[in-house]
Amino acid sequence: MTTVPRLRDTLSVRRTTDKGPVQFVIFDEGGTELFRLTSDGWYLLTLLDGVSSETEVQGAYRNQVGRDMPLDELQGFCAALAEAGVLNSTDRAVRILAYLAEQGVTYRAARPDRREAVHPDTGSPDDPRLADRRDAVEASTRFQVAVAHLNDGRLEQGLAVFRELAADRPGDVRVGEIVGHLEFLTAAEANPDLTEDRRDPTWEAFDRALAAMLAKGVCPACAEPIEVALYRPNRCGACGASFTATALRRTESQRAGDA
């Protein structure tokens, strides 16, 4: 099936009523206006991910808007966006995205809370617990840099940043898995006949194990109550156990038992 094109990642969109009805204006990174859309057009724009098929986009549009989008209308819309410079014309970037999607990898990182001047509990700028938040902010920034490289088709640069991040955060299973996929993708570009499937069966099993632990609300190591916090490493305040590491060990143990 033919897939839809992908938007450029450096665009910005602004809602406006400066010419009457609500419109959405697309700007490039320099602030130049490229295109204007209706509300329905804006929704259609959000579906152009470089991975979905034209049929899938037509179905999603029908469900959201309540009317059919004929194929020639969809293709004409994409052609107009391409002429305006809205679409990503880097084939390599789209191939990277498509490969990662096929492997079940979503590599967008959450943005951590950057309000770190003082700790909310103590009001102290020197509270050692702020270090976790600063580390999360720094790691998220590097993650976004790596993603930006990939979205522009710069596979080698993106892989280099992810390798550095993996080396600094050896317990981060997701980053290590992304590195493995990107390394295979690099090798596959040099050898098109390389067909090894890089999907790691521990990925979904790890997510399930970690979610189950956190949902119980108690530490898996000492059974003391825990509180889950966003954008910080989730460790037990009583014994210091890392839930990520515990979930990984359990997943690997399950795999060994299955073998």
Residue range 209-220, pLDDT digits in tens: 667 766 777 776
In the predicted model, is pLDDT for residue 111 greater than 50?
no
pLDDT at 141 (0 to 100): 81
Pairing between β-strand 23-27 and β-strand 12-16 as defined by DSSP bridges:
antiparallel
Domain that holds residue 96: 90-200
- Whether 2 is in a domain gets the answer no
| Strand 12-16 with 33-37, pairing | unpaired
Please report the pLDDT score of residue 147 as a whole number. Answer: 82
Residues 183 and 224 in one domain: no
81 pLDDT above the threshold of 90: yes
pLDDT attached to residue 106 = 63
- Euclidean distance between CA atoms 87 and 99, whole angstroms: 19
- In this structure, the answer to whether residues 159 and 67 fall within a common structural domain is no
User: Are 191 and 219 found together in one domain?
Assistant: no
Of 9 and 124, the one with more pLDDT: 9
**Do 94 and 79 fall into the same domain?**
no
Measure the CA–CA gap between 67 and 61, rounded to whole angstroms. Answer: 8
More confident residue, 20 or 241: 20
Confidence of residue 115 (pLDDT cuts 50, 70, 90): very low
E strands, the chain, are 12-16, 23-27, 33-37
State whether 131 and 150 are in the same domain.
Answer: yes
Q: How far apart are CA 167 and CA 164, in angstroms?
A: 5
Q: For residue 14, is pLDDT > 60? A: yes
Q: Does 1 map to a domain?
A: no
Q: Is the pLDDT of residue 60 over 80?
A: yes
Give the best-scoring range by mean pLDDT among 93-102, 114-123, 149-158, 211-220.
149-158
Q: Hey, which residues does 3 pair with through a beta bridge?
A: 53
Q: What is the mean pLDDT of residues 184-210?
A: 68
DSSP annotation of 110 reads P
Entry pTM? 0.52
Regarding whether 161 and 113 lie in a shared domain, the answer is yes
Question: In 10 A of CB 49, how many CB atoms?
Answer: 17
Token pair listed for 65 = 């808007």
Are 132 and 112 contained in the same domain?
yes
Q: Clarify whether residues 30 and 84 are in a common domain.
A: yes
How do residues 127-162 score in pLDDT, each as one tens digit? 555 455 556 667 778 888 888 788 778 899 999 999
- Please report whether residue 4 resides in a domain: no
Q: Are residues 151 and 230 in the same domain?
A: no
* 116 and 181 together in one domain: yes
Q: Are residues 252 and 190 in the same domain?
A: no
Looking at residue 130, its pLDDT comes to 47
As for how many domains the chain has, the answer is 3
pLDDT tens-digit series, residues 160-182: 999 998 888 777 777 888 888 89
Residue 108 within any structural domain of the chain:
yes
Residue 48 lies in a domain: yes
Which of 30, 134, 127, 45 has its CA nearest to residue 87?
45
**pLDDT value, residue 235:** 67
Residue 256: its pLDDT value, please?
A: 53
Interval 100-119 mean pLDDT: 55
Which of 200, 215, 239 is the C-terminal boundary of a domain? 200
Q: What is the pLDDT of residues 185-195, one digit of tens each?
A: 888 888 877 76
